[in-house]
A = this chain, B = another copy of it.
Amino acid sequence: MENRTVDTRERILDAGERLFMAHGYEGTSMRQITGEAGVNLAAVNYHFGSKESLMQEVFRRRLDWLNDERMRVLDALEAEAGGQPVKPSAIVDAFFGTLLRMAGDENRGGMTFLRLLGRTLTEPSEFIRAFLAHEYKAVMDRYKEALFKALPEVPKAEIVWRFHFMLGATSYAIAGTDALRLVTDWQIEAEDSTDRLDRLVPRLMSFLLGGLRAPLPQFEGEGA
Binding site for B on A (CB under 8 A): 23-24, 26-27, 118-119, 121-125, 129-130, 132-133, 136-137, 140, 144, 156-158, 160-162, 164-173, 175-176, 179-180, 182-184, 188-189, 198-199, 202-220
Q: Is there an interface contact between B219 and A199, defined as CB atoms closer than 8 Å?
A: yes
Closest 3 CB pairs of A and B: A168-B172, A210-B214, A26-B26
Q: Is there an interface contact between B182 and A129, defined as CB atoms closer than 8 Å?
A: yes
Q: How many chain copies?
A: 2
Q: Is there an interface contact between A216 and B210, defined as CB atoms closer than 8 Å?
A: no
Q: With A129-B182, A220-B198 known to touch, is A175 a contact of B205 (CB < 8 Å)?
A: no
Q: Is there an interface contact between A179 and B119, defined as CB atoms closer than 8 Å?
A: no
Q: With A168-B171, A210-B214, A217-B206 known to touch, is A188 a contact of B156 (CB < 8 Å)?
A: yes
Which of B118, B144, B166 touches A169 (beta carbons < 8 Å)? B166
List of B residues within 8 angstroms of A180 by Cβ: 164, 167
Q: Is there an interface contact between A176 and B164, defined as CB atoms closer than 8 Å?
A: yes
21 A-B pairs (CB sep. < 8 Å): A24-B123, A24-B125, A118-B122, A122-B122, A122-B171, A122-B172, A122-B179, A129-B179, A132-B183, A136-B183, A157-B189, A160-B188, A167-B172, A202-B217, A202-B219, A202-B220, A203-B217, A206-B214, A206-B215, A206-B217, A211-B214
List of B residues within 8 angstroms of A165 by Cβ: 169, 172-173, 204, 207
- The distance from the CB of A165 to the nearest CB of chain B, in whole angstroms, is 4
- The distance from the CB of A34 to the nearest CB of chain B, in whole angstroms, is 19
